[in-house]
Amino acid sequence: MAKRSSEHIKAQKDGKDRDFRACQICGSTDNPQGHHIIDVKYKGAASVDNIITLCDNHHKKVHSKKIDIVKF
């Protein structure tokens, strides 16, 4: 994975703070991770609006295509 810009790192931090560092699927606060809803490689924005907080388990499921995240 390419190194993220400071802009993306800040967006991930701000998104986790907005979500109270809790997974938006199960509510777990164990190892919260900021996930880009629209991936950076597809021109996903470095903004808090493009971040969802996920626990490690659900983050892995998203990346293995077992869960889809859809933004309306």
Give the global pTM. Answer: 0.90
29-38 pLDDT, tens per residue? 999 999 999 9
Q: Is the pLDDT of residue 71 over 90?
A: no
48-64 pLDDT, tens per residue? 999 999 999 999 999 99
CA 56 to chain CA centroid, Å, is 10
The answer to whether 6 and 19 are in contact (CB under 8 A) is no
Q: Is the pLDDT of residue 1 over 60?
A: no
The long-range contacts involving 18-25, CB below 8 angstroms and separated by at least 24 positions, are 18/48, 18/51, 18/53, 19/52, 19/53, 21/53, 22/53, 23/53, 23/54, 23/55, 23/58, 24/52, 24/53, 24/54, 25/54, 25/55, 25/58, 25/67
Q: Is the pLDDT of residue 22 over 70?
A: yes
